[in-house]
Amino acid sequence: MGVGVRAVRAEGQGLAAAALLVCCGLSVFGFGAAAQSLPNSPGKDTFESVCSLCHDAPAAVMGKLWTKAQWEAKVAEMLQEETDVTSQERSAIVEYLTANFKPGGKIYINRATAKDLEILLDLSARDAEAVARYRAEHGRFKSVSELEDALKSAALPPKDAARISAMKGRLEF
Ligand code: HEC
């Protein structure tokens, strides 16, 4: 009996590990489940339809805070093969991204990848990964205090913790 239970549990773990591999191996961003909706403003529909051709469009952009020039370059790079996307559509997408994801803008803490977190919160790669790992283990952050717990688990130096506390007003959960 005891052996049977253990076998089932081991099988369950195997399945969970396989599911994790499928989910995170296939997804470029690996964090699609933490749904946080896109802000509304002109160009949103065009952005969603055009930029969802190859990947989860919100997941790709919601961890970036870029200038107009940076968005222009990224949109041009992404659409270089998509010759049927018009220049009006391209400008609408750039407008949308520039309005909502600009330097100093909102930080979508549950959407950002470890690499994004490194930049957004000015962390070391190691600490950014610790924060992302904490999120993967505990589910999406629901409050600043949860984020602070994650930062504590990354053993962040107090001056970094203070800098992040100062960003509180920009954090979106
Ligand atoms: C033809 C397929 C395709 C389309 C269409 C596409 N992307 Fe991508 N995108 C990719 C691939 C593949 C990657 C991952 C590799 C990389 O980062 O270049 C990616 C990654 C990204 C990243 C992450 C880059 C980084 O530095 O982390 C952003 C941002 C992005 N795409 C934005 C967009 C936007 C905005 C649009 C719509 C204008 C778009 N993509 C349309 C294929 C596409």
What is the structure's pLDDT at 39? 95
Find the residues whose C-beta lies inside 6 A of ligand 1: 28, 50-51, 53-55, 60-61, 64, 74-75, 78-79, 81-82, 93
**What phi, psi does 123 have (nearest 5°)?**
-105, 165
- Give the span between the Cα atoms of 56 and 48, in whole angstroms: 9
What is the structure's pLDDT at 33? 44
Using the mean position of ligand 1's atoms as its centre, give its distance from the Cα of residue 131 in Å. Answer: 24
- Give the span between the Cα atoms of 93 and 41, in whole angstroms: 11
What is the structure's pLDDT at 99? 98
What is the structure's pLDDT at 36? 72
User: Counting atoms of ligand 1 from 1, which one is nearest the CA of 51?
Assistant: 37
What is the structure's pLDDT at 37? 87
Q: Of 136, 171, 148, whose CA–CA distance to 27 is shortest?
A: 136
Using the mean position of ligand 1's atoms as its centre, give its distance from the Cα of residue 78 in Å. Answer: 5
Q: Which residues pair with 172 in a beta bridge?
A: 108
User: Counting atoms of ligand 1 from 1, which one is nearest the CA of 81?
Assistant: 1
What is the structure's pLDDT at 162? 82
Domain map (residue ranges) of the chain: 3-100, 107-172
pTM, 2 dp: 0.80
Structural contact between residues 48 and 38, judged by C-beta atoms closer than 8 angstroms = yes
Q: Of 106, 134, 99, 130, whose CA–CA distance to 120 is shortest?
A: 106
**Each residue's pLDDT tens digit in the chain (173 positions)?**
444 444 444 444 444 444 443 433 334 454 444 457 899 999 999 999 999 999 999 999 999 999 999 999 999 999 999 999 999 999 999 999 999 999 999 999 999 999 999 999 988 898 899 899 999 999 999 998 888 888 888 777 777 778 888 899 999 98
Nearest CA to ligand 1 atom 22: 60
- Give the span between the Cα atoms of 148 and 165, in whole angstroms: 8
The three-state (H, E, C) secondary structure of the chain, written as one string: CHHHHHHHHHHHHHHHHHHHHHHHHHCCCCCCCCCCCCCCCCCHHHHHHHHCCCCCHHHHHCCCCCCHHHHHHHHHHHCCCCCCCCHHHHHHHHHHHHHHCCCCCCEECCCCCHHHHHHHCCCCHHHHHHHHHHHHHHCCCCCHHHHHHHHHHCCCCHHHHHHHHCCHHHEEC
Q: Which amino acid is present at 69? A: A
Structural contact between residues 78 and 97, judged by C-beta atoms closer than 8 angstroms = no
What is the structure's pLDDT at 21? 39
What is the structure's pLDDT at 150? 84
What is the structure's pLDDT at 127? 87
